[in-house]
Amino acid sequence: MINVESYRTILKELESYNAELIAVSKTKPIEAIQAFYKLGQRHFGENRVQELSQKMTHLPKDIKWHMIGTLQRKKVKQIASFVHLIHSVDTLQLLEEINKQAKKHERTIDCLLQFHIAKESTKQGMQFIEACDLLDNWSQLDLNHVRIVGVMGMATFTNDLMQVRKEFDQLRIYSEQLKNKYFESTDSFREVSMGMSGDYQTALDSGSTMIRIGSSLFGER
Ligand SMILES: *Cc1c(COP(=O)(O)O)cnc(C)c1O
């Protein structure tokens, strides 16, 4: 049911990089997640709030759940008590809602700013300038219950690995620029979440710190 061989291959490849594997379990059953859990996997990613909050109730409490999909503001409260990292923050309004819900649970939620780096207009994410606008005003925003720990992006869906490489490099450069401009004094801003089943090797070469792998591990959806 799950692809253990592929899992081991990816872990082996990761040994030469400083990156984490997020197993993307969306649409896949609890049993498949349990099987990877037994192999030692702890980071899992989901892209729907409903599915994520249901699955987590049936699974071990030490799983680190990553929200990787588009997140509607009104749904933040369903995951605020337990989510480990939200990869898909692309507006101030969403960040404010995450902050509000995190505060209710007396916790701080780690977030990534999602950037639009692909050619497809259907893909989500901020422009670099929007992120700068947000971070320029950070001290006035009073967002003490969220912490921005890095960036996330999805490359164009294409066989042209040169194009993909260019987009991943762009995202890493964004992260370096933000680091220098806004996060110089902290070590926590360090994540570059990029790379999926089809392009993770390219992402690792471009400096990914988190690869999000679904179909290679769980089979096609
Ligand atoms: C589904 C998904 C993935 C995993 O994609 P695969 O091609 O199945 O590895 C990664 N990131 C996001 C945001 C996703 O929605």
Cα 186 from chain centre: 20
Q: Which residue CA neighbors atom 10 of ligand 1 most closely?
A: 212
38's tokens: 């037994």
Rounded distance, CA 194 to CA 191, Å? 9
Indicate the pTM of the whole model. Answer: 0.97
Interval between CA 59 and ligand 1 midpoint (Å): 21
The model's pLDDT over 31-78, given as tens digits with 9 standing for 90+, comes to 999 999 999 999 999 999 999 999 999 999 999 999 999 999 999 999
What is the structure's pLDDT at 121?
A: 86
What is the structure's pLDDT at 123?
A: 83
Rounded distance, CA 198 to CA 22, Å? 14
What is the structure's pLDDT at 195?
A: 98
Q: Which residue CA neighbors atom 11 of ligand 1 most closely?
A: 212
What is the structure's pLDDT at 122?
A: 84
Ligand 1 pocket test target in 22, 196, 200 with most atoms within 8 Å of CB: 196
Rounded distance, CA 221 to CA 218, Å? 8
The model's pLDDT over 13-41, given as tens digits with 9 standing for 90+, comes to 999 999 999 999 999 999 999 999 999 99
All residue ranges of the chain with pLDDT < 70 are none
